[in-house]
């Protein structure tokens, strides 16, 4: 009887070892510490660089907008330089022991949030934004209001400074990917860009006056739900 039970345990362990895949890291070594694997592709002037390894669900959710299934640039036949595609897969895929071992992740093993765009009322109904360029010689008006929706439901301000002084603001619609990288990760809470550079900010507001109507930093800024960084 004991021998039968031991054989059952061995069989169960064998089955689990087959059904559960593990992650590969940058050196194509095994990573057995994580239940979720990732594959990050960055398009550069010299080609494509690949990063892979194990991670956690929080990191995957924070990068869901960069998924190859959600980021419009990743779907392009020739993605623009600096495009980042970040995919995750669950480490339980019996067909392929390493779900991130190839240069493309099978969508069947991706978490649902990497595959489906979360539809908000702003994306469906649109957000009223100011869409124009203003500087010392031209000011935008109510005639420049537009409704931003679909893949670009955010209002964005690109503010150009010289020697600490405002010189120009580009008001326009923007995608979540643009806002995440240019505003949330790029500008963040920093102030260095005010000296000589470009500060980028994104916002979404209710119907009425556009949230990006001011020439400088909007007050109703978009929050992407994680600590702002100063670099990738």
Which pTM was predicted? 0.48
Mean pLDDT across 199-203: 92
70 pLDDT band, cuts 50/70/90, is confident
Least confident interval from 101-115, 118-132, 169-183: 118-132
Percent above pLDDT 90 for the chain: 18
Residue 165 Cα distances to 115, 132, 176, 221, angstroms: 43, 20, 28, 22
Residue 187 Cα distances to 22, 178, 180, 182, angstroms: 36, 12, 10, 6
The helix/strand/coil state of 12 is: helix
Least confident interval from 59-73, 109-123, 124-138: 109-123
Reported as a single tens digit per residue, the pLDDT across 6-46 is: 344 344 433 333 344 578 888 767 777 777 889 999 999 99
Give the angle 189-192-195 at the CA atoms, nearest 5°.
135
Ordered by where they begin, the domains of the chain are 2-115 (no CATH), 121-203 (2.10.60.10)
Mean pLDDT of the chain: 78
In the chain, % helix, strand, coil (3-state, to 5) comes to 25, 30, 45
Reported as a single tens digit per residue, the pLDDT across 125-176 is: 678 888 999 988 888 887 888 888 778 888 999 999 998 899 999 999 988 8
């Amino acid at each position: 009887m004991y021998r039968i039970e031991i054989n059952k345990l061995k069989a169960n362990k064998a089955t689990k070892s087959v059904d559960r895949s593990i992650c590969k890291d940058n050196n194509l070594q095994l990573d057995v510490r994580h239940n979720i694997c990732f594959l990050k592709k960055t398009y550069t002037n010299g080609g494509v660089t690949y990063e892979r390894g194990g991670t956690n669900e929080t990191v995957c959710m924070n990068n869901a907008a960069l998924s190859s299934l959600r980021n419009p640039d990743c779907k392009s036949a020739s993605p623009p330089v600096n495009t980042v595609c970040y995919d995750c897969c669950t480490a339980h895929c019996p067909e392929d022991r390493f779900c991130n071992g190839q240069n493309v992740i099978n969508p069947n093993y991706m978490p649902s949030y990497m595959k489906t765009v979360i539809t908000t009322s702003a994306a469906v109904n649109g957000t009223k934004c100011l869409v124009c360029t203003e500087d010392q010689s031209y000011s935008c008006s109510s005639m420049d209001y537009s409704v931003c929706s679909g893949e670009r439901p955010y209002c964005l301000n690109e503010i150009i400074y010289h020697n600490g002084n405002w010189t120009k603001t580009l008001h326009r619609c923007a995608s979540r990917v643009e806002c995440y990288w240019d505003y949330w990760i790029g500008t963040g809470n920093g102030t260095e860009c005010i000296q000589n550079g470009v500060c980028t900010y994104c916002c979404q507001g209710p119907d009425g006056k556009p949230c990006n109507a001011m020439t400088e930093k909007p007050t109703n800024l978009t929050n992407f739900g994680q600590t702002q960084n100063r670099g990738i």
